[in-house]
Amino acid sequence: MSDLTKMSAAQLAKAIAGKEASAVEVAQAHLDRIDAVDERVHAFLHVDREGALAAAAAVDAGEVTGPLAGVPVAVKDVIATKGVPTTAASKILEGWRPPYDATIVERLRAAGTVMLGKTNMDEFAMGSSTEYSAYGATNNPWDLGRIPGGSGGGSAAAIAAYEAPLAIGTDTGGSIRQPGAVTGTVGAKPTYGGTSRYGLIAFSSSLDTPGPCARNVEDAALLHAAIAGHDWRDSTSIPQPVPDVVGAARLGATGDLSGVKLGVVKEFAGDGSEPGVLSAFHESLEALVKLGAEIVEVSCPHFQYALPAYYLIAPSEASSNLARFDGVRYGLRVGDDGNRSLEEVMSLTREAGFGPEVKRRIILGTYALSSGYYDAYYGQAQKVRTLITRDFEAAFERVDVLVSPTTPFVAFPFGSRTSDPYQMYLADLFTIPTNLYGGPAISVPCGLSEGLPVGFQVMAPTLADDRMYRVAAALESSVGTLTPPAL
Amino acid sequence: MAAITREEVAHLARLSRLAVTEEELDRFAGQLDVILQSVARVGEVAADDIPPTSHSVPLTNVYRDDVPVPCLTQEEALSGAPDAFEGRFRVPRILDEED
């Protein structure tokens, strides 16, 4: 492995700006690393060698500048990239080349980054392990027999395996943070509406949030700053300035948390987590106290209903959003023999194109929205969402941020949670409340359990994304970053 | 008691335009039953007087200036179509012969 692939995004940007390394050299080093390891990791669904080298050459020629000029980035395959295959890891979009770029892809380019390719995920971002990808799972660089988390397991694994220093994920119920936790990397979900959804293939529109994946907190903040901000093409985009997340990460890295109050959610403290996860979490709390933070126990009594509410709201929105895959405008069409009707062709196309978890969620969402069940399921889940938001608001009157383990268990072996879909859903137990509330949250590595990474989650109030970066960077300054065994 | 029956799953699959197999119906009915019994816990919360939240961002009626900007060309818009004919999306027949 060349040193270029081990460098942070901040270091690479500096080296390229100072002409110590060329952007082409940096891109080539990462493409070589992908060639060397991705057969085993399978983080990428598509590698855009020509595009990456051309973008890097433009940086070297001085045609492209920006704060991350020449820094490679991998993009989750649920995000539209003009002319570059975009499948959302589904057979229904196999071979689709979007005719436009997502806003965040435009912004990545404006920041000077070099896109290496598209990363693997659970189909349509529905899952916690990448086992629901239609193109085969991604393997965790820490142990190739275990899951890399999901849905954004490809993005997290790519950076953990040094195939890219930065990656973009999307977080609907934990799809950035849980993969970050189980691969020993940093993953941040910005405030909902803080990053544009234009060009993101919709799963659950009131929850989907694109965000950064990186190997350290400062790099995550740099990527966050590059993609965030108002977008007129997304009407849920927040028309307010982006908090200074980079400044907050650098402040946190000084290791001083004097006067910062951390709320430990009582309801997340006990049952459900593996003992090794809990002990790493408690050691992290002690480390944060040594940096000056104060620990306050808070109660969020409705958090226990977040998972059930989420699994009504998200599938309901998905059942509507995924109606667009009808075999007419893009993607697969099956059974069009000249005799069958549109409806028959549509049903055969969707049956052939969607995987089992997507079908389950479409059926579940259709059920929850049906007349007769709407009030008891979808309507009630929306009320519970209000109560969860009130729990957050009450907690943030007493503390600056809330903290918890990111996910109850370390990376699990393949196949151990696919037979009972609800067991898979439990991976998102601690990440989902934030999505329902809409605030920002970050997962930062905090230690090992059974030799596998554990993530520490920091949840902040809406639009206070800077706060979570400060606390995460402070923890990182104390416990350090994690390095997986050599592949 | 099962929260959802095999017949209901078949009906929902039809509404969702999914030509599921018999084997899938058996499997999904069992799995969805487990999921529904778990998510039905939202009903334990007393929330009659609680307003629903559909969205976390308190934005309503988002307007912008009506400024013309470039859009996709016809060729670009059709570039991903499974079947196109004379600049349009071609679809299978929508009406029955006797209609």
Q: What is the ipTM of this complex?
A: 0.94
Q: Give me A258's structure tokens.
A: 């004097």
How many domains does the structure of chain B reveal? Answer: 1
Chain A CB contacts of B42 below 8 Å: 305, 308-309, 312, 377, 380-381, 384
- Distances from the Cα of A292 to the Cα of A174, A298, A366, A442, A469, angstroms: 29, 19, 50, 20, 16
Q: Chain B residue with minimal CA distance to A358?
A: B18
Is 80 exceeded by the pLDDT of residue B1?
A: no
Say if residue A474 is exposed, middle or buried (CB neighbours under 10 Å; 0-12, 13-18, 19+).
buried
* pLDDT given for residue A2 in this prediction: 66
Is the pLDDT at B23 greater than 60? The verdict is: yes
Determine if residue A209 is left, alpha or beta; phi over 0 gives left, psi from -120 to 50 gives alpha, anything else beta: beta
**Secondary-structure breakdown of chain B: helix, strand, coil percentages, each rounded to the nearest 5:** 35, 5, 60
Q: Are A321 and A88 in contact (CB under 8 A)?
A: no
Distance of residue B74 Cα from the nearest chain A Cα, in angstroms: 11
Q: How many beta-carbon pairs below 8 A join chains A and B? A: 182
The pair of three-digit structure tokens given for residue A169, joined into one six-digit string: 């994920």
Decide if B48 is inside a domain. no
- Residue B2 predicted with pLDDT over 80: no
Please judge whether B35 and A97 are an interchain contact, meaning their C-beta atoms are less than 8 angstroms apart. no
CB contact under 8 Å between B52 and A438, yes or no, is: no
Residues of A known to be catalytic: 76, 151, 175
**Integer Cα distance of A398 and A394 in angstroms:** 7
Let me know: does B56 contact A192? Beta carbons within 8 Å: yes
Residues of A in contact with B56 (CB under 8 A): 192-193, 206, 389, 436-439, 462
Nearest-Cα distance to chain B for A139, in Å, is 26
Q: Which domain holds residue B32?
A: 6-43
pLDDT value of residue B59: 82
Decide if B11 is inside a domain.
yes
B73 falls within a domain:
no
| Closest residue, chain A, to B9 (C-alpha) | A363
Would you state the pLDDT for residue B60?
83
Chain B residues whose beta carbon lies within 8 Å of the beta carbon of residue A340:
92
Residue A62 gets which letter from DSSP? Answer: T
Name the band, by pLDDT with cuts 50, 70 and 90, for residue B90. very high
CB contacts, 8 Å: A330 with chain B: 80-82
Low-confidence ranges of chain A (pLDDT < 50): none
Write down the pLDDT at residue A1. Answer: 54
**Nearest chain A CA: its distance from B1 CA (Å):** 16
In a domain, B38, yes or no: yes
| Residue B67 to residue A213: CA distance in whole angstroms | 35
Report d(CA A191, CA A210) in Å as an integer: 10
The pLDDT of residue B53 is 93
Domains of chain A (ranges; CATH) run: 3-253 (3.90.1300.10)
Number of Cβ within 10 Å of residue B81's Cβ equals: 18
User: Concatenated DSSP letters for A259-284?
Assistant: T-EEEEEGGGSSTTS-HHHHHHHHHH
* Interchain CB contact of B50 with A (< 8 Å): yes
A374 in contact with chain B, both atoms CB, cutoff 8 A: no
pLDDT of residue B58: 79
Place of tokens 């309507």: A379
Dig out the tokens for A219 from the structure.
Answer: 């790099």
Note whether B40 contacts A: Cβ–Cβ < 8 A: yes
Q: What is the pLDDT of residue A423?
A: 86
- Determine the distance in angstroms separating the CA of A156 from the nearest CA of chain B, rounded to an integer: 27
**B94 has a pLDDT exceeding 70:** yes
Cα A286 to Cα A158, A266, A293, A400, A475: the distances in Å are 31, 17, 9, 17, 10
**H or E element, residue A80:** none
Report if residue B15 sits inside a domain: yes
For testing the chain B interface, which of A363, A370, A422, A425 should be mutated: the one with the most B CBs within 10 Å? A363
Contacts of A436 in chain B (CB under 8 A): 53, 56
Q: Chain B within 8 Å of A198 (Cβ-Cβ)?
A: no
User: Do the beta carbons of residue A317 and residue A365 sit within 8 Å?
Assistant: yes
CA dist., res. A234 & res. A311, Å (int): 25
The answer to whether residue B80 neighbours chain A at the CB level (below 8 Å) is yes
Q: What is the pLDDT of residue B99?
A: 52
A125, A221, A270, A466 from A158: Cα distances, Å: 17, 18, 32, 25
What is the bridge-based pairing of β-strands B84-85 and A186-189?
A: unpaired
- Sorting pLDDT into bands at 50, 70 and 90, what band is B34? very high
Q: Does residue B25 belong to any structural domain of this protein?
A: yes
For chain A, say whether B61 makes contact (Cβ under 8 Å): no
Q: Which of B34, B39, B77 lies at the smallest CB-CB distance from A99?
A: B77
DSSP state of A88: T
In a domain, B68, yes or no: no
User: Searching chain A, which residue's CA lies closest to the CA of residue B24?
Assistant: A356
Residues A431-487: pLDDT tens digits? 999 999 999 999 999 999 999 999 999 999 999 999 999 999 999 999 999 999 999
| B12 located within any domain | yes
Q: Which two tokens stand for residue A116?
A: 């290496």
